[in-house]
Amino acid sequence: MKQLFEFFPILLFFIAFKIYDIYVATAVVIVATIIQVAYAWFKHRKVETMQWITLGLILVMGGATLYLQDEQFIKWKLSIIEWLFGTAFLGSQFVGKKTFIEKMLSGNLTLPALIWKRLNTLWGCFFISVGFINLYVMYNYNTDDWVTFKTFGVPALMVVFILLQMVFLYKHIPDTEE
């Protein structure tokens, strides 16, 4: 349910773009993200760091898109977010005792330290790659194609990547029948 709630502003962005244009869609995603963060605050009295970063970027890049009437700003936001995620994942290998992926999954999964590090590196590289794929799409395809890629292509890449991770992890998961 949490993932669906996080997908909510992107879905509204897509719908507004299809009905109106990139500028209305940008205004809609700004408002939806503000509502999303406010809801998280009022419900949990806490907002995750990445939600704050996303809100900040959507306000700055979306605001620049609307003020300057230049859609490139909103398109760049996706790459910046992905690169921040990738950099955070890769950087977590050098700061603290656990990598980001280990912090997120160690409650459900026990793996050797080397496998956690490899998994974390793969996630970091994945996010950075998606940022570059976004640049390719935004500069080589029209805005309609880019919006479709952002809304459906990026989540599809994530699902494929997660499935590949499951194949990678399968051989490292201890047999519970022992």
pLDDT in tens, 105-144: 877 788 888 889 999 999 999 999 999 999 999 999 999 9
Torsion of CA 15, 150, 75, 54, to 10 degrees: 90
Q: How confident is the model at residue 3 (pLDDT cuts 50, 70, 90)?
A: low
Dihedral in degrees, nearest 10, Cα atoms 41, 45, 49, 52: 20
Task: Return the residue matching tokens 């977590």.
Answer: 92
CB 13 within 8 A of CB 151: yes
pLDDT tens for 23-50 read 999 999 999 999 999 999 999 899 888 8
From residue 163, how far is each of 29, 114, 144 by CA, in Å? 29, 20, 28
Ranges assigned E (strand) in 47-162: none
C-beta separation of 79 from 134 below 8 A:
yes
Quote the DSSP letter at residue 166.
H
- The pTM of this model reads 0.87
CA–CA distances in Å: residue 78 to residues 116, 159, 163, 176: 26, 17, 22, 40
- Residues listed for the chain: 178
Q: How far apart are CA 64 and CA 58, in angstroms?
A: 9
At 174 the pLDDT is: 62
What would the 3-class secondary structure string for 10-50 be? HHHHHHHHHHCCHHHHHHHHHHHHHHHHHHHHHHHCCCCHH
What is the C-alpha separation between 145 and 138, in angstroms, rounded? 8
